[in-house]
């Protein structure tokens, strides 16, 4: 047997592969690799899907938070307008009160100081008394 030629080596190899199931193993090994690759891809897709769902949930949470803050800002603007209106009425009432104030405290006929003869006469009496 020391003098083997190529045909006997090939025949021995083919016989060994067929008898030992080596040829079937070569085909099933390729199928197993393909199945493992598909399983890895499926796991990868599941992980990315989970990440996408987490991002979507976070985006919805942030949108709700932003809407809540927008509503609060709108409410504060409404309150600010109400306070400005009240302040405007208060300042108007104060201006009217200052305009209508009589400068002479002892005068019994207290009337607004502008456009009335009573108030002017009251001040004229004061000047005549001194």
Mean pLDDT for all residues in the chain: 79
- As a 3-state breakdown, the chain gives helix, strand, coil percent values, each rounded to 5, of 80, 0, 20
Report pLDDT for 89.
96
Q: Domain-by-domain residue ranges, the chain?
A: 33-103
- For the cut 70, the answer to whether the pLDDT of residue 48 exceeds it is yes
Report pLDDT for 97.
82
Q: How confident is the model at residue 111 (pLDDT cuts 50, 70, 90)?
A: low
User: What share of the chain in percent tops pLDDT 70?
Assistant: 65
Q: What is the CA radius of gyration of the chain?
A: 51
Report pLDDT for 57.
97
């Amino acid at each position: 047997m020391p003098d083997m030629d190529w045909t006997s080596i090939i025949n021995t190899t083919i016989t060994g592969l067929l008898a030992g199931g080596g040829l079937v193993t070569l085909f099933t090994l390729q199928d197993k690799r393909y199945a493992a690759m598909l399983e890895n891809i499926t796991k990868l897709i599941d992980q990315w899907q989970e990440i996408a769902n987490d991002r979507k949930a976070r985006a919805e949470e942030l949108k709700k938070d932003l809407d809540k803050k927008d509503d609060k800002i709108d409410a504060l603007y409404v309150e600010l307008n109400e306070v400005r209106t009240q302040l405007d009425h208060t300042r108007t009432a104060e201006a009217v009160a200052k305009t209508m104030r009589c400068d002479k405290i002892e005068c019994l006929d207290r009337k607004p100081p502008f456009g009335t003869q009573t108030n002017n006469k009251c001040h004229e009496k004061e000047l005549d008394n001194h």
